[in-house]
Amino acid sequence: MSQKYDTIIIGGGLSGLLCGYLLSKKGQKTLVLEQDMLLGGCLQSFKRHGQTFDTGFHYVGGLEEGQLLNLLFKYFHLMDLPWKKMDKHFDEIFIGEQHYSFVTGYDDFAKQMSAYFPNKANQFQQYVNILKDIHTSTIERLQTMQQADITSDQWFNTSAYDYLKSTFEDDHIVDVLAGTSLKMDLDKKMPLYVFAHINGSFIESAWRIIGGGMQVADSLANDIKKMGGEVLTKMPVAHLHFENGYIQYVQTENGEIFHADHIISSLHPQATFHLIDSENFARKTYIWRMNHLENSTGMFTANILLKDNAIPYQNRNLHIHQEGNLWQTRYGKDILVSFTTDKEDAVYTKNIDILTPMSWEDVAAFVGTHRNSRPEKYLQLKQNTADFLIDRAENYIPDLKEQVEQVYTSTPLTYQEYTSTPNGSAYGVKKQYDNVLTTFLTPKTAVKNLYLTGQSLNLHGILGTTITSLYTCAEILGADTIAEEVFGRQNPKKVLLIQ
């Protein structure tokens, strides 16, 4: 016997759960279907030897009182989680033999950069003013849930690289400002809007979560259930039945059928459209365009378990670049080291994560093998990559190799299996300043009752995904309803202040 819902959400990652929370709170009968045993997608955590490791969540920006993500997370009842503010110098950047710090606070950031490059003080102030302007314009649109006019907005149609190069006229400064690039897929076609939005949120304030990002997913799922919604795991969707212009029902791999007025997919757009059981759901040009979207690169992650009381905890990240010329994907030359903690006043860390971009070609030969029975060649690739990363990181964390107890690794192939993202793309569809209409997707699709959400639409990352979920829900409930529900009761004119 089939079941009927107001909205079915495919995928229990952050964007799907946020949509499930908001729609359930507004009285909709909502169902979230997750293919994996665990919810969370990129927020998933796992435990080994009593320690919690994150798979994709490392830090987040904009959680200070009065900042945008703080306001949004208050609405979603997420500010009660154990957030830990990072140091004023929250990101340490190493380019070759040179070292720089990113600090929180727009004006303080400009002063810090000006101390490194005194003859560019005016340009740094201009840069942070751009960050503020883009932040303000986003807030203003959110208060009424208006979509940006991406065809005419200069921030979308300007290359971040070109802007920085023309402003600073110094290749090294352009590299320094891109020094935290592993939280985005950096290249010379990245729009200034994306680059500034992501960097700006962390410059406002930077935070970790004590005990793993899975707490975010668990909190949202629990609240969805309390509000009458349903969240089902181990329920991979087999296909979406298309007929007469609509998705008529969702069928899972175990044969269960679910009907709903609206369907939201938090999967990658390509993965979503491959589920539709008809080739006639849209024009062939639309389908071709969706299937040929360029995706961001994947990541290799080494989750490292350390000996007790061996490596001091650092309340900041290390961004290590072998050399300059950061504005292209460079496998193995750029790494991010993230320290984790299980308590507020940690002196030592028990585990760290080291990440670097990894090419899909490195793992493509192993597609079709099972995650628990990969061939020896694949296991050796992971071992060699982890050893290389630990060697690199030891130059900045003395005695690291001697303090390693165990290493757990993941590749773009791992990421693809858990998130259904083509080629294990870490940040979804690549955004391009010279092709905004194709690369900035809207929640609406060619199917009347099928909507998209997630990092491939507007912005990736925690803040970007949260914003996108609001726009997706606005397609179902109406822009005015979402604006009043999320912002109307909290007087955003008072709380959303530029820091």
Q: How far is CA 195 from CA 151, 191, 287, 298, in A?
A: 18, 7, 28, 18
> How far is 40 from 293, CA to CA, in rounded Å?
25
Q: What is the pLDDT of residue 241?
A: 96
Structure tokens at 195: 């680059």
Burial (CB < 10 A; 0-12, 13-18, 19+), residue 163, is buried
- Do β-strands 334-339 and 246-252 pair in parallel, antiparallel, or remain unpaired? unpaired
Q: What is the pLDDT of residue 279?
A: 86
Give the DSSP H/E element, type plus range, for residue 9.
Answer: strand 3-10
Alpha helices in 255-375 (DSSP H): 269-274, 284-291
> How far is 268 from 215, CA to CA, in rounded Å?
23
| CB contact at 8 A, 39 and 243 | no
Binned at pLDDT 50, 70 and 90, residue 42 comes out as confident
What string of DSSP letters covers 341-374?
A: -SSTT-SEESEEEEEEEE-GGGTGGGTTS-TTS-
The tens digit of pLDDT for each residue in 131-183 reads 999 998 899 889 889 888 888 888 999 999 999 999 999 999 999 999 998 88
The structure's pTM equals: 0.94
DSSP-derived 3-state class of residue 440: coil
Whether the per-residue pLDDT at 479 is higher than 80: the answer is yes
Q: Dmax over Cα atoms in the chain, in whole Å?
A: 72
Q: What is the pLDDT of residue 45?
A: 85
The residue behind tokens 């989680």 is 81
Radius of gyration of the chain (CA): 22
Q: What is the pLDDT of residue 335?
A: 94
- Where do the domains of the chain lie? 3-80+211-294+431-495, 85-206+295-424
Q: What is the pLDDT of residue 2?
A: 64
| 108-112, 404-408, 459-463, 494-498: range with lowest mean pLDDT | 494-498
Residues 333-343, mean pLDDT to the nearest whole number: 91
Structure tokens at 148: 């940006």
Burial (CB < 10 A; 0-12, 13-18, 19+), residue 493, is exposed
Whether the per-residue pLDDT at 20 is higher than 50: the answer is yes
**Cβ contacts of residue 361 below 8 Å, gap of 6+?**
none
Residues 42-65, mean pLDDT to the nearest whole number: 88
Phi, psi of 233 (to 5 degrees): -100, 170
Residues 358-367, mean pLDDT to the nearest whole number: 94
Structure tokens at 105: 């606070």
DSSP-derived 3-state class of residue 5: strand
> How far is 398 from 259, CA to CA, in rounded Å?
57
Q: What is the pLDDT of residue 320?
A: 96
In one-letter notation, the amino acid at residue 256 is E
CATH class of segment(s) 85-206+295-424:
alpha beta
> How far is 326 from 495, CA to CA, in rounded Å?
36
The residue behind tokens 């990245």 is 190
Q: What is the pLDDT of residue 486?
A: 93
Binned at pLDDT 50, 70 and 90, residue 437 comes out as confident
Q: What is the pLDDT of residue 452?
A: 96
The tens digit of pLDDT for each residue in 243-281 reads 999 999 999 999 999 999 999 999 999 999 999 999 889
* Mean confidence (pLDDT) of the chain: 92
Query: Would you tell me which CATH number, out of the four given (3.50.50.60, 3.40.190.10, 1.10.3720.10, 3.90.580.10), belongs to the domain 3-80+211-294+431-495?
Result: 3.50.50.60
Q: What is the pLDDT of residue 79?
A: 97
DSSP-derived 3-state class of residue 30: strand
Topology agreement, domain 3-80+211-294+431-495 and domain 85-206+295-424:
no
User: Where does residue 33 fall: left (phi above 0), alpha (psi -120 to 50 degrees), or beta otherwise?
Assistant: beta
Percent of the chain at pLDDT exceeding 90: 74
The tens digit of pLDDT for each residue in 117-144 reads 999 999 999 999 999 999 988 998 898 8
Q: What is the pLDDT of residue 185?
A: 84
